[in-house]
Amino acid sequence: MIPSTILWTALLSLVPISELRGAIPFAVARGVDLPVAFVFCTIVNALVGPIAYIFLSSVHSALY
């Protein structure tokens, strides 16, 4: 996979508008195999919760 494809696919998986509905077709259109795209996008999408928790806890501690 091309690094730019990996980056864009990961960003599309994290954005609430597109999530998996936009990231998986994008990756497949860029030449990634469907099972690989599905697993990669699902793992990145599962990271939304921990990323949001870390971000919000750091913002809360900075403002409190």
Q: Three-state secondary structure along the chain?
A: CCHHHHHHHHHHHHCCCCHHHHHHHHHHHCCCCHHHHHHHHHHHHHCHHHHHHHHHHHHHHHHC
What pLDDT band is residue 63 in, cutting at 50, 70 and 90?
confident
24-40, pLDDT tens digit by residue? 999 999 999 999 999 99
Task: Indicate the pTM of the whole model.
Answer: 0.85
